[in-house]
Amino acid sequence: MTGAGVSPGNGHGPVKGVGVSPGIGYGPAYVLAERVPEPPVGERYAGEAGPEKDRVAQALERVAAELDRRGERAGGQGREVLGAQAMMARDPGLAVEVAALVDTGLAAPRAVFEAFQKYRDLLTAAGGYLGERAADLDDIRDRVIAVLTGVPMPGVPEEAPGGVPYVLVARDLAPADTAVLSSAVVAAFVTEEGGPTSHTAILARAMGVPAVVACPGATTLDGNLLVDGGAGLVEREPEPHRVEQVRRADAARRRLLAETTGPGRTADGHRVPLLANLGGPADVPAALQAGAEGVGLYRTEFLFLDRASAPSAREQEEAYRAVLEAFPRGKVVVRTLDSGADKPLAFLPPPGEEPNPALGVRGLRMGRHVPEVLTGQLQALARAAEGTSAQLQVMAPMVATAEEAAWFAAACRTAGLPEAGVMIEIPAAALRSADLARFVDFFSIGTNDLAQYAFAADRQLGVLSDLQDAWQPALLDLVALAVGGHGRPCGVCGEAAADPALACVLAGLGVGSLSMGAAGLPAVRAALARHTLVQCRAAAAAARAAASGEQARAAAREHLPGLSELGL
């Protein structure tokens, strides 16, 4: 995707990363502190133990209260994540442990450090989901030590200093970092890690904030930054007239894109419904505003990240009904919990230690491992749909075989759900889509995971982002196989759908609908409307005939002249 054309500024050449959330952001760099310094080994306090213990108790409570406050401000998923962290800070066992160390003469910061270390070792030894919580514990420890030693608190400022939105620069960002932010506070994200399909990228798009990931040396950037989240460029200390020029070009491009309205279709009227990817009811307003015709991917696990126990049937029903009611007569595709790997749910731990969690018990595999949770979710969905006019379709993530597809479809039928589908995210499922089609009503291709598994490239790793490129001809071949001659409708709900040029290619490959974060809809709608189905097919054929992702992109664009007219 090209942006508004950032080019070298005043002697500092632009830094290149991967643009994952289009738009222009400008502001002072705020580099996220990595870690609070470790308090010196053996550091002791002068005076009585009592006041030293009081300092610790106050610091723990201050950190817990701050996390609660941030959670309240974030709402929804953020409240869950940060509320769970606040509970860790208030753990009575931890307080007793720190107090015992203070009694031995250790100064409060060092006592906190050692007590947390003990807990950390226990979690790490437990492995799996608990092991992954070690990072949360480190975060709380650093906050408490920051309070005790008076060094800056780690984490992101929730308000723009002086009212000027900042560019958040980090090695990588966790959902907890971004949960409390909004576009009023953050002008753009720039990270060293993270691929185009990492959850940093997905969250940035959901917030409508420009973002560049996999940007080498990002954390050394300082001063004012101009970020082009489409082209993946970061320019340092641009002249004011340059910022103005780039912003004007971006605003003009957005106005042009907004001129195309209505349902998704090509210039010759071939329908390609444009749907939204949601993480919960909070994402509905942006989807409606962007003219989504329905929901193509409701990531239900986003509702329950970091929940200690399984959500109640009633709570689930409410979260599902809120989305179904927002799209009367529209299609709403709900995905069952995709727990595991980078999205662990506390109430669904994997059955054993997983050296490679992305290849472990996740998605439907977890549903088969704990069938009562899946059944509970399917029943809650069936009840949520009662009395609403939306067309509910339910699909399972991470399906590899026809046998798994058949098992899931039978579970949906038992729960009284009329339409069951599966995601195609594993090459085996794409290769044998005709087998799977005998059991399910529809398919949705998850290009994020399909690329991860086709190229054996972890989607969290910025250094492998070239391999997670959905333009790779091998990935396009897999999409073509998945769409296949089986006659079942097949959409795409991975991030590839939000790339306007690739969206035309996908339509040309026979993909029936495209689902994406709301911010991507205007550009895709406009790109489709500028090209005929014949042009889309020619672009698809040219891309598949290419020898690399880069060549595929260039070859497809030759057949899609409307893209440059739109500034895309």
**Which are the catalytic amino acids?**
199, 493
Name residues contacting Mg ion, limited to 384-443 (CB under 5 A): 425
d(C-alpha 169, C-alpha 90), whole Å: 30
CB of 493 to Mg ion, least distance (A): 9
Q: Report CA-CA distances (Å) from 241 to 9, 238, 244, 246, 248.
A: 11, 8, 5, 9, 10
447 lies in the site for ligand PEP, by CB under 6 A: yes
338 lies in the site for ligand PEP, by CB under 6 A: yes
Q: Report the b/e string of 11-49 with b at 16+ CB within 10 A.
A: eeebbebbbbbbbbbbbbbbbbeeebeebeeeeebeeee
Task: Identify the CA nearest to 63 among candidates 75, 73, 55, 74.
Answer: 55
Could you count the other beta carbons within 10 Å of the beta carbon of residue 372?
9
Q: N- to C-terminal Cα distance for the chain?
A: 6
Binding partner of residue 535 among ligand PEP, Mg ion, none, CB cut-off 5 to 8 Å per kind: none
CB of 343 to ligand PEP, least distance (A): 7
d(C-alpha 453, C-alpha 459), whole Å: 9
CB 360 within 8 A of CB 350: yes
The span of 21-29, 234-242, 446-454, 527-535 binding ligand PEP (CB under 6 A) equals: 446-454
- Total residues at the site for ligand PEP (CB under 6 A)? 10
425, 458, 469, 499: which one binds ligand PEP (CB under 6 A) = 425
SS3 assignment for 301-359: HHHCCCCCCCCCHHHHHHHHHHHHHHCCCCEEEEECCCCECCECCCCCCCCCCCCCHHH
Identity of the residue, 250 or 301, whose beta carbon is nearer to Mg ion in the bound complex: 301
Task: Identify the CA nearest to 341 among candidates 331, 349, 329, 333.
Answer: 349
Identity of the residue, 339 or 447, whose beta carbon is nearer to ligand PEP in the bound complex: 447
CB of 145 to ligand PEP, least distance (A): 35
Identity of the residue, 280 or 446, whose beta carbon is nearer to Mg ion in the bound complex: 446
- Total residues at the site for Mg ion (CB under 5 A)? 3
Structure tokens at 159: 């308000």
CB of 449 to Mg ion, least distance (A): 4
27, 155, 350, 446: which one binds Mg ion (CB under 5 A) = 446
Identity of the residue, 343 or 557, whose beta carbon is nearer to ligand PEP in the bound complex: 343
446 lies in the site for ligand PEP, by CB under 6 A: yes
CB of 509 to ligand PEP, least distance (A): 16
Task: Identify the CA nearest to 217 among candidates 17, 441, 369, 517.
Answer: 17
Nearest residue to Mg ion, by Cβ distance, number only: 449
Binding partner of residue 142 among ligand PEP, Mg ion, none, CB cut-off 5 to 8 Å per kind: none
177, 293, 354, 449: which one binds Mg ion (CB under 5 A) = 449
Structure tokens at 249: 């070009």
d(C-alpha 508, C-alpha 503), whole Å: 9
Q: 465-494 mask for ligand PEP (x: CB under 6 A)?
A: ----------------------------xx
Binding partner of residue 493 among ligand PEP, Mg ion, none, CB cut-off 5 to 8 Å per kind: ligand PEP
* Residues in contact with ligand PEP by the rule CB under 6 A: 297, 299, 338, 425, 446-449, 493-494
* Residues in contact with Mg ion by the rule CB under 5 A: 425, 446, 449
